[in-house]
Structure 1
Amino acid sequence: MKPTLSFFFVFFCFSTLLAQTDYYYPERGVDWETRSPREAGLKATALQEAVNYAETHEYSGPRDLRRAILKGFEYEPYHEILGPVKKRGGPAGMIIKDGYLIASWGDIQRVDMTFSVTKSFLSTVAGLAADRNLIRNTSDPVHEYIWDGTFRSEHNQKINWSHLLQQNSDWSGDLWGLKDWADRPPREGGIDDWKNRKLVEPGTVMEYNDVRVNVLAYSLTHVWRQPLPTVLKTHLMDPIGASSTWRWFGYDHAWTTIDGYKMQSVTGGGHSGAGIFISAEDMARFGLLFLSGGSWNGEQLISEEWISEALTPSTPNPNYGYMWWLNQQGNRHWEGVPENVFYAAGFGGNFIVVAPDQDLVMVLRWLEPSEVGNFVREVFKAL
């Protein structure tokens, strides 16, 4: 890891917060302990208005997510469904204060696709690797770890782990038959212009691109020498008491062989299918882990240093860290909401929002994506 001034500032803020906060951590298989809004120090009427807002601003896309995906990415050349897809439920969510459940709506135990919320889980698997020195430093070139040709070219040899985690690597190539240039291309210009463009220096331009995210997942699979769902389950989801219902899928044909074992390389999103399928309750546990600085009921599962690094704004995009969105000044800033709020976000309006100063976690399923900032402001009115 490469410390910066911003890194130390975020680390100081988290350390100070953790010294002052004692959270409730729900046990596996039991009902989440509740507190009334009044007991939690919130205004009940204002909080109910926030819940009503979430319930009445459902994602406008069809509940048949196969149709929603094909429509949402129809401008991509050669786009198709390559992994599992599941019809979604209706609006659902949870609001957690100090670890206690103070509001919920919809079916919070229903397992649904979560799309790019998966990316925040994926970056956390990288953090688990860094904590165990499987990745010595995020500034290390990835080709020092992955020597099979994935990072062979002159350009790709410059790419380090931070570049992949911040989505500013401009990795060039194809993975599982998908071309990097065919993933979310600019709407103007032809295919030939885009696929033959000049590559930019890694670390200088952020581009949201699932092929490159899946290159990160593939690389981490080889670093861990295990399927990433196994890593996540063993080191994180089981210790935080998550249910047995969540799944993490890859494309149907995305398999690699390590130590003689055939393993699926999972995806970091779902815009061609796959990704993490999970309930709102298990998402809330993951959010609570990050609210508490990586500690769960006294056990440090992921280091505070990693969380601080993951929440440090990248140079090309101040609203993005290691696959977490940051409420810093920039194009994704929510006015009236503290700048240290951070969140995971996925297609169709899936969110895990963490507000450290307020000891809040908000989980949203199938909220119209453009309305999330308004929802968070509604919650803050209840404080």
Structure 2
Amino acid sequence: MTAFTDAIAYASAHEVPWPRDPAADPASWGVHHADPAPFNRLRGPVHPRGGVSGVVRVGGHEVAAWGEPDRADLTFSVAKTYLALLAGVALARGLLDPAERVGHRLPGIGFDGDHNGAITWTHLLEQTSEWSGTCFGMPDQVEHNRRVTHDPKPPQGRKGEARVLQAPGSYWEYNDVRINQLSLALLHLFRRPLQEVFLDTVLRPLGGGEGFAWQGYDDAWVTLDGQRLPSVPGGSHWGGGVSVGARDQARVGQLLLDGGRHAGVQLLPGGWVERMRQPCAIAPFYGWLSWLNRDGAMFPQASPESWFMVGAGGHYVWIDPAHEAVVVVRWLDPAHSTGFVERVAQALARG
């Protein structure tokens, strides 16, 4: 742990400036405030958080931990990558083909017609679907022209301002409504709550899952096979989403570092993880619901092989094959993420 003392101290000194209790100062908590009315409100449950915490694993072993690494906190868009893992599980079960049009297997849930009917699972996974419609009361337009920290694209217009849609696969846009539509589609494939599927196929086989929860919006329910099931979001933009501990996040990162294999068992299909790391043709900074560091575009100090799960509120899961490392940090002020990565990179380089 001594090697990472400087990085840990730096992270601990730069906590995200959100209140620890969302109810204490609602106007300073979350990212929904930037949305156009009436969509600038929470629609699902949220809960108080802990302080800065994290875990470092090198060579498959935990070498550092700080804060409350087992505390299950909201993790925002890190959950998007979890949807990509579930898509891999669906592939292993013969429930999808990434190149297949979603509506071919799931008619009647929003993937029909000339435009949406052309959308494939790959389009959804790389955020190029251009899906158009309303998902549980949220129109895709709410997220038109959205900019996030690591998106190099210049602004195209005001957030929520309607723009001309492009053909599926031809335009990249970070869009939570479309991600929620992907989650709905996966629910229809598994026909079980995605929380249960993720626990059974990923977290529990890794030895984790304590305190894990994946909650939906208050009104995001569907009835399948006579059961009322929650459709969960791929983040906590409007509340709900994944609550998970830093150690469990590190376990998931280790699974990806190990190519989807754990304790001699292939939990994800062979080649799936490598495909997740391949750059999107029109957005080479992005893979399948994960961020890439090609040419050091995200973090110059990190190896170019590095890739990341990133969530609002300062959540990072950094997978570094060059150093056989997984680094998790939570509730770090994003304005200081580069300083943290630089200090960890220096420690990893020293061995």
Structure 1 residues 68-109: Cα deviation after superposition (integer angstroms, max 9, x where no partner):
676633231222111110111111111111122211111111
Report the TM-score when normalising by structure 2. 0.90
Aligned to 1:128: 89
Correspondent of 2:68 among 86, 102, 107: 107
Aligned to 2:152: none
Given the alignment of the two structures, is residue 91 of structure 1 paired with residue 52 of structure 2, yes or no?
Answer: yes
CA 1:272–1:259 in structure 2 vs 1: closer, same or farther (change >3 Å)? same
In 1, the alpha carbon distance for the partners of 2:301 and 2:313 equals 24
Alignment of 1:164-203 (within 5 A): 164-183=124-143, 185=145, 194-195=161-162, 197-203=163-169
How far apart are residue 119 of structure 1 and its match? 0.5
How far apart are residue 110 of structure 1 and its match? 1.2
The farther-off stretch of 267-276 and 79-88 is 79-88
In 2, the alpha carbon distance for the partners of 1:107 and 1:363 equals 12
Contact 2:15/2:52 (8 A) holds in 1: yes
Aligned to 1:141: 101
In 2, the alpha carbon distance for the partners of 1:286 and 1:149 equals 30
Instruction: Name which one, 1 or 2, has greater alpha-carbon Rg.
Output: 1
Aligned to 1:74: 33
The farther-off stretch of 54-63 and 360-369 is 54-63
Contact 1:65/1:86 (8 A) holds in 2: yes
Aligned to 1:151: 111
In 2, the alpha carbon distance for the partners of 1:69 and 1:139 equals 41
What code does the residue aligned with 1:317 have? A
Alignment of 1:1-383 (within 5 A): 37=1, 44=2, 46-65=3-22, 67=26, 72-77=31-36, 78=38, 79-135=40-96, 137-183=97-143, 185=145, 194-195=161-162, 197-329=163-295, 332-382=297-347, 383=350
Q: How many residues align?
A: 336
Structure 1 residues 308-350: Cα deviation after superposition (integer angstroms, max 9, x where no partner):
11111101211111111111137x4311321110110101001
How far apart are residue 304 of structure 1 and its match? 3.2
Contact 2:18/2:29 (8 A) holds in 1: no
Unaligned runs of 5+ in 1: 1-36, 38-43
In 2, the alpha carbon distance for the partners of 1:237 and 1:94 equals 16
Contact 2:18/2:28 (8 A) holds in 1: no
Report the TM-score when normalising by structure 1. 0.83
SS in 2 for 1:93: strand
SS in 2 for 1:329: helix
CA 1:305–1:260 in structure 2 vs 1: closer, same or farther (change >3 Å)? same
CA 1:237–1:343 in structure 2 vs 1: closer, same or farther (change >3 Å)? same
SS in 2 for 1:74: helix
In 2, the alpha carbon distance for the partners of 1:188 and 1:132 equals 40
Structure 1 residues 231-270: Cα deviation after superposition (integer angstroms, max 9, x where no partner):
1111111111113310001111111111121111111000
What code does the residue aligned with 1:362 have? V
Contact 2:73/2:243 (8 A) holds in 1: yes
Identical counterparts, % of pairs: 37
In 2, the alpha carbon distance for the partners of 1:303 and 1:375 equals 33
What code does the residue aligned with 2:32 have? F
CA 1:107–1:123 in structure 2 vs 1: closer, same or farther (change >3 Å)? same
How far apart are residue 183 of structure 1 and its match? 2.6
SS in 2 for 1:253: coil
SS in 2 for 1:235: helix
Contact 1:283/1:363 (8 A) holds in 2: yes
Contact 1:62/1:68 (8 A) holds in 2: no
How far apart are residue 185 of structure 1 and its match? 4.4
Structure 1 residues 156-210: Cα deviation after superposition (integer angstroms, max 9, x where no partner):
111100110111111000011011101364588678x933x32111112211111
SS in 1 for 2:230: strand
How far apart are residue 378 of structure 1 and its match? 0.9
How far apart are residue 58 of structure 1 and its match? 1.0
